[in-house]
Structure 1
């Protein structure tokens, strides 16, 4: 490796989270074809990890040389070096729960056992909340609340890790007397439930990488029906972002491979209470303006 290549490699991101943050930071200034590869790489990290340059380029709709330029644009000497970061991410993400527990046991053996594990999760939660406090756009929050408050029914989409968030939102909105519907039918009637949604309603979709295909498909259907949509996701390149009128990027920290939902739950609480308060405010104004 030449001195120039070694210098480039030293400046390149060494882990996926850092790489992802760099891509998002530069996404507005990336040339068109490189931006196309960037979007594909964050939507399909597994393909980047194990595909060949030819197969990845074909899937992304670019020339193989664009992959090299994409890698160099981010500080890597070549595409292979960038690919190794995606492979490392996959090894971390695809570890079984037993492997994750083994890692936590090893971590606990270094300190106070269960207290060490608790402290790790508390630290991850604090990190997630601090990031949201620093990055949340107040205008986006206000717009999301206004859109949801104006809806006759709020349709809530979520699967897998995101489902507890949807469940809480539905519970909170019910207690606050705001009509909502989780799109999750034991009898498999999700398409029929979605078919009832109109432009007078709104949707709230939640999904994080690796994105739940069912959530993405349902978001697409609702978007085609003209239903206004708010999304909670983790990337500007998330497939949910293309369907949402308003979307939040939430970066959750993890401990031992177990990712926190702290910031997402805090945001969900703010949306639920904010929607109820907005509706009450609009109702009071309506009563004041009604004829005597």
Structure 2
């Protein structure tokens, strides 16, 4: 294949056309590229190779087979597609209106759609979370000198809830809201003995990713709540929860992340109730 695609749509067609002639390894990459274009846009050669169970050299051969000089050149088209999907709310709503049935664009039709999507999301959530990871995170939180909670953009409501709920357990918790552009200054004292509870989903916040990495380097434990094994938040995490995410939806739900946050808090409450500890004011922590 010599002609190189100039757009994401052309690239999709080229992959589909060339798929029957590809080796089994390249076909696995092709399926991944078509099914999870956002993961390919954000991943490295190594992470995408791992996700498709092929050697990194196969990634280069895949790009070459499509007429690109290397993986990065091909990835630029996927990244451009990712940027294009960051549409405004009005554009997303119009997309729903164009794709729905008459009468579904408002009222009960919208509610029915979102309830159905939420139920599917919760099913995936239960499949993706391991009890051992919850146990490990609870142990870190229960033993922390100070808990710091960080999220931005779409994930910020998750951080707000976690800060509120952990405070109700009478734990030493601080919400890193970055007010006044002071996130770096507020976070640079986080180190050994502290736990950073960070959440970030596509499109990932660079400030959250950078802060998590810096805190980890200073010896803090990091608990990550994210959406994919390819998340840039994962490398800094001591415990990483990959909740899953359907990037094909115009509006990505917070039902799963908030449900998980509640489960994490209640699990921690059970541990504190089983092993009572005194807070700074002398009262036993409430579960």
What TM-score do you get using the length of structure 2 for normalisation?
0.73
Residue in 1 that maps onto 2:255:
262
Of 32, 36, 46, the residue aligned with 1:17 is: 36
Counterpart position of 1:272: 265
Name the CA distance, whole Å, in 1 between partners of 2:217 and 2:263.
28
Do 2:225 and 2:242's aligned partners in 1 also have CA atoms closer than 8 Å? yes
Distance 1:25 1:281, change over 3 A: farther
**Residue by residue, what CA displacement relative to the aligned partner does 1:213-253 show, whole Å, maximum 9, x if unpaired?**
11111112211210011001122232211111110111123
1:18-57 to 2 correspondence within 5 Å?
Answer: 20=39, 26-27=50-51, 29-31=53-55, 33-34=56-57
Where do 1:70-81 residues align within 5 Å? 70-71=62-63, 77-78=65-66
**Partner residue of 2:143 out of 150, 158, 164:** 150
CA–CA distance in 2 between the matches of 1:241 and 1:253?
Answer: 19
| Match for residue 251 of structure 1 among 236, 244, 256 | 244
Matched, 1:7 2:17: no
Task: Say if 1:88 and 1:195 are closer, same or farther in 2 by CA, change over 3 A.
Answer: closer
Give the one of 208, 221, 233 matched to 1:228: 221
| Change beyond 3 A, Cα 1:205–1:8 | farther
Whose relative contact order is higher, 1 or 2, with alpha carbons under 8 Å and at least 6 apart? 1
Counterpart Cα distance in 1 of 2:123 and 2:21: 32
> Which residue of structure 1 aligns with residue 129 of structure 2?
136
The RMSD of aligned alpha carbons is: 3.3
SS of the residue 1:211 aligns to:
coil
Which residue of structure 2 lines up, in the alignment, with residue 57 of structure 1? none
Q: 1:93 and 1:112, CA in 2 relative to 1: closer, same or farther beyond 3 A?
A: closer
Mapped partners of 2:184, 2:91: distance in 1: 37
Aligned partner of 2:14 in structure 1 is none
- Give 1:40's aligned residue: none
1:105 alignment partner in structure 2 = 97
Match of 1:161 in 2: 154
Query: What SS does structure 1 have at the residue aligned with 2:231?
Result: coil
Report the CA distance shift for 1:91/1:238 in structure 2 as closer, same or farther (over 3 A): closer
Do the aligned partners of 1:201 and 1:228 also contact (CA within 8 Å) in 2? yes
**CA distance in 1 between partners of 2:39 and 2:21 (Å):** 18
Structure 1 residues 158, 28: closer, same or farther in 2, change over 3 A? same
SS of match in other structure, 1:105? helix
Alignment TM-score, normalising by the size of structure 1:
0.72
Partner of 2:195: 202
Picking from 172, 178, 190, the partner of 2:165 is 172
